[in-house]
Amino acid sequence: MEKDCNNASVEVMSNKQVIYREKVRGSLKETNLKVKTSLERPKADKDSGTIAVKNLYLACEPYNLHLIKYFTRLGSPVPGYGVARVLESGHPNFKKGDLVWGMTRWEEYSLITAPETCFKIEHTDVPLSYYTGLLGMPGLTAYAGFFEVCSPKKGDNVFISVASGAVGQLVGQFAKLFGCYVVGSTGSKERVDLLKNKFGFDDAFNFKEELDLDAALKRCFPKGIDIYFENFGGKMLDAVLLNMKFHGRITVCGMVSQYNLERHEGIHNLINLVLKRVRMEGFVESDYYHIYPKFLEMVLPQIKEGKIVPVEDIVEGLENSPAALVGVFSGRNVGKQMVVVSRE
């Protein structure tokens, strides 16, 4: 609220936004994005099937770049997952004041045109920011990817790349709780420590310090890998293919090392899919929305008992989000990167 010249209260209807300004070529740069303030806020008309929300927390992750590159027009706000408060509802399932998580945009206020894809937040006895991570898309991704796609068995040797990322750290913790041997790769000494000491991985290595990824994997898995949870792509995938066990599974969640490249690196060792009878399968968490309640039922008690530990890297303010997103690709963050838009 500000005061007008007559000292009456008027609401300034501004809306700070992070806009996709300039086509991404090669790596994402801060200049591809622009923070600007619009003087309009979205409205959700009655029976429009839409909801107008105030964004509170935004996930800041490689998936944002994927969405930018493939699904965002220049001049539009960056899309991504977030936690928001409903301000106006034109949809029968939502009412003013509801908390939701789902696909929104990087701005203070958003109009969500397909709120059916959002989840209402019922459990508020955990930090709301968790719904951008552990209890949101990364959590469901880790759960569905590991339990529904990897076909895990107790005692399996599990390797996870980008292991300290939002999804990787959870896959590792789920796999440990399930009784697997778990090793992760990540990009700094600090993160290696996090994996081993905070997330309970059996082993971890800094891929930037390994001259020979094949040798690193052979050191960690002398008997080979049963499950590879693929977040990285490129040379790591090629090295993993040389180290898979018979009937191993590679679950492809993403290939973050490749998103900044005009053309993805070539993978040369796919013949190992035949030699080792390996199944490699891509998946997207949105195919698993129906198991979200089952997931919450498993994970909420584990959070409360301290068995699952999220680590968040929190940035305050939309204006700092472009740098935070660029930082995700250079490995600046430790744990799940998240942007606070408003603490209400």
Which CB, 269 or 320, lies closer to its own copies? 269
Q: Does residue number 275 form part of the binding site for its own copies (CB under 8 A)?
A: yes
Which CB, 189 or 264, lies closer to its own copies? 264
User: Which residues, 6 or more positions from 202, have their beta carbon under 8 angstroms from its beta carbon?
Assistant: 176, 181, 182, 183
Say what angle helices 321-330 and 62-71 make with each other, to 10 degrees.
Answer: 110
- 159 near 136, Cβ under 8 Å? no
Which CB, 38 or 151, lies closer to its own copies? 151
Stretch that binds its own copies, among 109-117, 151-159, 255-263, 292-300 (CB under 8 A): 255-263
Q: Does residue number 233 form part of the binding site for its own copies (CB under 8 A)?
A: yes
- In whole angstroms, the minimum distance from the beta carbon of 72 to its own copies comes to 16
Q: Does residue number 167 form part of the binding site for its own copies (CB under 8 A)?
A: no
Q: Does residue number 148 form part of the binding site for its own copies (CB under 8 A)?
A: no
Say what angle helices 234-241 and 213-220 make with each other, to 10 degrees.
Answer: 50
- Coil, strand or helix at 225: strand
Q: Does residue number 263 form part of the binding site for its own copies (CB under 8 A)?
A: yes
Q: Does residue number 274 form part of the binding site for its own copies (CB under 8 A)?
A: yes
- 226 near 157, Cβ under 8 Å? yes
- 149 near 179, Cβ under 8 Å? no
- In whole angstroms, the minimum distance from the beta carbon of 283 to its own copies comes to 6
Q: Which of 103, 237, 338, 340 binds its own copies (CB under 8 A)?
A: 237
Query: CA-CA distance, 293 to 206, in Å (whole number)?
Result: 35
Which residues form the interface with its own copies (CB under 8 A)? 233, 237, 252-255, 258, 263-284, 287
